[in-house]
Chain A
């Protein structure tokens, strides 16, 4: 497989989906994210890379306010989704998360059937009016997640009985079933084998036609393969943010270069 095929599609969207301005995140006393400014484009895969503990996952979780569940976490600054501040007092995180879906590091399907896993989001958001519509949404989501052919005959089987890669694609199907506008992925392939990883990566590239995808990854090869834009985080700072090609071939900041060449991290 040619690693570069996926990135050949140029960045063809220029519209900002998410705009972060002067974002600071504190865990109690420790300052985890320092003054991050970033513009995430629509219909683009944006990769966050950086060494462990650099704050890339923390920043990702700010984008759908998953950090709200951590008591000691405080977020300052502005994060705009379609020019609306998501940390505004009027914003209900529940509605936000319907718009900004998330896929986690470890596949975490509900201990329910495959069908119920995918149908859960549309059900609680009232996106469908009847069973037939729900069936359609489930099928469409599973097809988009490239899982339909493998599970169409056993939709009532438990989601937890699938293989790791299938589980992760099920989680992706679950996330896209609510028709989000942004899909956040927190190291979605770190628990998967290379074959499953390749499947998920291919899937991410396809998802780009419909969503803005933000992916946190430890693997620089993966970032290079799937993303059009890359942000490099280091010690809570956003060091460099540019087109993926540029980051990997001609980085501006010496820290970026050290990292991608394996000297730090």
Chain B
């Protein structure tokens, strides 16, 4: 080597590897800045997630508890069965107004027998402790078994939402001055009855399996019926969106000629995925209900609308999954003389399956959480008052869906509905979480190396 190398314009300085030079320092500094920002971003994200989840749990968990009253009710034949013939048609004439005083009397008996001190001496004055639903509960029991008339039967009835709120700390003595639904004396009695074990809290099965109730009976409202509505809608979405979406993607990805027309379709599918869901709602209203005259508020229509909404998601993820299958597998199949169709269905599709399933479940989860389009086709929360009779009826009878139910509760005036809205969100999140877990399990199961 000649000396010319040493007279190069930048004189090589002899550097120790133990001393970090300025340039390296700057590079390292920028790297650690970036890392710090990343960690910071993740930290903020996690903090908000924890905040969100804890808020949901704190606000919503009380919905899973409910206050009940144990009351022995004397089913007075003189009131219920004035004709004394135990005829069902006549028994039905006795409305809940007949039954309410019986329950109040029963509760007064309990109070007096236990020797609880209270200013309330009339049965009527106990009305505010008892849920309006209790009379219907007793009446249904009697209609189901008229032989009970004349006996004293033990009932576990719902306490009114004020009593429930008082036990849960929502209703405070300081705030009830203006409240005509509860009085201080009634709260005193509530405390006494609670000590006596007559009023107690229990797990609220009715919230998970029950139907929605009117504005005045917050204690009775449950998410069960709208959960069924969501279930039937998801069935419709799964049965329609999965085969149509997968078939469309296979055609577009594997068979369709690549030209301007298919490019246009591709762009439009991507755009559809970004269309606001309420647009799909109004489309469903005009096409399925006003034009095709399908029943209003029916999970069938909701399912159709959500299918339209989910299709782009499924098509996009399926196409991505098909694209990810190595072309060598297609070559291998074609090379042994498989037809295009055989190569796709025997080899490409099974390999794309994990991706397709993940996409489908994500699409379903999206559809499960969708509210806006459902409101437009009449699947509003207060519709979910009756459990459908049987499988077919589940698709056509008016119903709501979980998110629409939650929205309905959130906008009601009575603060008792507030905890139910949060509780509904917990249930919805449990569903979404389990769907995601299923997606992960399926992906693991179908995943193969090649």
| A contact set with B: CB distance below 8 Å | 64, 66, 69, 71, 94-98, 101-104, 106, 108-111, 120-121, 124-125, 158, 160, 171, 174-175, 177-178
Contacts and interface: CB of A to CB of B under 8 A. Distances in A.
A69 B328 contact: no
Contact of B342 (A71, A95, A124, A171): A124
B25 interface: no
B450 A71 contact: no
Contact of B336 (A69, A106, A178): A178
Interface in B253-311: 257-258
Nearest to A102: B335
A158 B450 CA distance: 10
Nearest to B335: A102
Nearest to B449: A160
B135 to A, nearest CB: 65
A97 B335 contact: yes
B337 interface: yes
Given A101-B336, A101-B337, A120-B338, 10 more contacts: A71-B257, A96-B337, A104-B335, A110-B333, A111-B329, A111-B448, A111-B449, A125-B337, A158-B448, A175-B335
A69 B334 CA distance: 9
B351 interface: yes
Interface string B153-196: 00000000000000000000000000000000000000000000
A187 to B, nearest CB: 13
Contacts of A174: 332, 336
Contacts of A108: 326, 328-329, 331-332
B86 interface: no
Contact of A121 (B337, B347, B448): B337
B337 A94 contact: yes
Interface in B333-352: 333-339, 342, 346-347, 350-351
Contacts of A178: 336-337
Nearest to B350: A111
B201 interface: no
9 contacts: A66-B331, A69-B330, A97-B334, A108-B329, A120-B336, A120-B346, A158-B448, A160-B450, A178-B337
A174 B331 CA distance: 13
Contact of B328 (A106, A121, A125): A106
B332 A110 contact: yes
A215 B165 CA distance: 84
B337 A171 contact: no
A72 to B, nearest CB: 9
Give the size range of B's interface with the partner.
20 to 34
B351 A94 contact: no
Contacts of B347: 110
A141 B332 CA distance: 17
Nearest to A122: B336
B336 A121 contact: yes
Interface in B231-255: none
Nearest to A71: B258
Interface string B28-42: 000000000000000
Nearest to A99: B337
A94 B338 contact: yes
A145 B449 CA distance: 24
A111 B334 contact: no
Interface string B344-378: 00110011000000000000000000000000000
Contacts of B335: 64, 66, 97, 101-104, 175
A177 B342 CA distance: 18
Contacts of A66: 331, 334-335
Contacts of B334: 66, 69, 97
Nearest to A105: B328
B337 A97 contact: yes
B258 A171 contact: no
Contacts of A104: 328, 331-332, 335
Contact of A95 (B330, B336, B337, B450): B337
Contacts of B350: 111
A111 B351 contact: yes
B339 A94 contact: yes
A258 B6 CA distance: 42
B450 A111 contact: yes
A185 to B, nearest CB: 11
A12 B396 CA distance: 78
Contacts of A109: 332
A-B pairs, top 7 by smallest CB distance, nearest first, are A98-B337, A108-B328, A102-B335, A97-B337, A121-B336, A108-B332, A111-B450
Contacts of A103: 335
Nearest to A117: B332
A259 to B, nearest CB: 28
